[in-house]
């Protein structure tokens, strides 16, 4: 009878250990994925004149405004509008280190995360005078 009790205790202890190990591994994996990301927050608005972007944190710029032809991407980094062939190598520890492209499509806006984002691609409708905020993890309020 005591052997059965020891087996039950050993079985339960093994389950608790495996459950704890699995949860801590997932937590460490999530932390590793976000450790290299610095915070930034940007609001994108489609106006009558094109695209307006406002940075709330993590950028050297505050406001950007530009026209986008359909399906022609524009690269944006922590310093503002850039060209993918000539991205600034200067890194400021006070700024977030991100790079993405924004493309106007017939259905709205598509963003492609190149550096400093947890997302690879975001697509969403953006009507005229509509706004959408994004951060290093994706769409936000």
Judgement on whether residues 28 and 51 belong to the same structural domain of the protein: no
Please state the pTM of the whole predicted model: 0.73
**31 pLDDT more than 80:** no
Q: Supply the pLDDT for residue 11.
A: 58
Q: What is the pLDDT of residues 79-115, one digit of tens each?
A: 999 999 887 777 888 999 999 999 999 889 999 999 9
* The total number of structural domains that make up the chain: 2
Q: How far apart are CA 26 and CA 50, in angstroms?
A: 42
DSSP 137: T
**28 pLDDT more than 60:** no
Rg (CA), the chain: 22
Judgement on whether residues 132 and 67 belong to the same structural domain of the protein: yes
Q: Supply the pLDDT for residue 89.
A: 78
The Cβ of residue 34 has, within 10 Å, a number of other Cβ atoms equal to 10
- Cα of first residue to Cα of last residue in the chain, in angstroms, is 60
Q: Predicted confidence band at 30 (pLDDT cuts at 50, 70, 90)?
A: very low
| CA count, 13 A, side-chain hemisphere, 91 | 9
Judgement on whether residues 6 and 25 belong to the same structural domain of the protein: yes
**67 pLDDT more than 80:** yes
**66 pLDDT more than 90:** yes
Judgement on whether residues 78 and 136 belong to the same structural domain of the protein: yes
Judgement on whether residues 77 and 29 belong to the same structural domain of the protein: no
Judgement on whether residues 48 and 98 belong to the same structural domain of the protein: yes
Q: What is the DSSP string of 62-78?
A: SEEEE---BT--EEEET
Judgement on whether residues 104 and 135 belong to the same structural domain of the protein: yes
Judgement on whether residues 28 and 95 belong to the same structural domain of the protein: no
Domain encompassing residue 17:
1-35
Judgement on whether residues 57 and 22 belong to the same structural domain of the protein: no
**Poorest-pLDDT segment among 9-18, 35-44, 115-124:** 9-18
């Amino acid at each position: 009878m005591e052997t059965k009790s020891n087996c039950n205790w050993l079985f339960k202890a093994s389950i608790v250990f495996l459950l704890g190990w699995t949860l801590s591994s997932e937590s460490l994996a999530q932390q590793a994925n976000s450790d290299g990301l610095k915070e930034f927050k940007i609001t994108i608005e489609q106006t009558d004149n094109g695209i307006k972007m406002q940075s709330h944190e993590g950028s050297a710029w505050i406001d950007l405004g530009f026209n986008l032809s359909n399906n022609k991407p524009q690269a944006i980094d922590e310093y503002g509008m850039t060209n993918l062939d000539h991205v600034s190598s200067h890194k400021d520890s006070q700024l977030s280190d991100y790079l993405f492209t924004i493309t106007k499509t017939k259905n709205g806006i598509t963003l492609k995360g190149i550096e400093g984002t947890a997302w690879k691609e975001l697509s969403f409708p953006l009507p005229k005078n509509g706004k959408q905020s994004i951060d290093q993890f994706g769409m936000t309020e």
